[in-house]
Amino acid sequence: MVGELVPILVLLAVAVVIVAGIIGLTHLFGPKHPDPVKLSPYESGMEPVGEARTRFSIRFYIIAMLFVLFDIEVVFFYPWAVVFKKLLSMGSFILIEMLVFVGLLLVGYLYAWKKGALEWD
């Protein structure tokens, strides 16, 4: 069993040596001309305004998490839709399972809506 891991460990060691070597060479031979313009933050061609560490409303994070949650769950619809006709010919179980899945999504959506998680004040 340990013999099977030797090639992976050798590959990992070689990768670490190469990465460390490249970083070391870049640090030794790379240009070093820092000035205030290069060290200033840059985003989308806009001049930075205000403090970088401003606090965001918790609603921003809740909406972001809900978006990711529902977005990932909706990804399960695609493979189901691709093989729907083939699976439907085997019985209506797959249709019932997808209706249960959609029902759970709807319950979660209605719960988030009821709690006001989708309201942006």
Residue-level pLDDT at 43 = 66
Q: Check residue 45 and give its pLDDT.
A: 67
Mean pLDDT over 62-75 rounds to 84
- Whether the predicted pLDDT of 31 surpasses 80: yes
What string of DSSP letters covers 53-121?
Answer: TPPPPHHHHHHHHHHHHHHHHHTTHHHHHHTHHHHHTT-SHHHHHHHHHHHHHHHHHHHHHHTTTT---
Average pLDDT value for the chain: 84
CA distance to 36, 40, 81, 96, per residue, from 76 (Å): 49, 43, 9, 15
What distance in Å separates the CA atoms of residue 98 and residue 80, rounded to the nearest whole number? 8
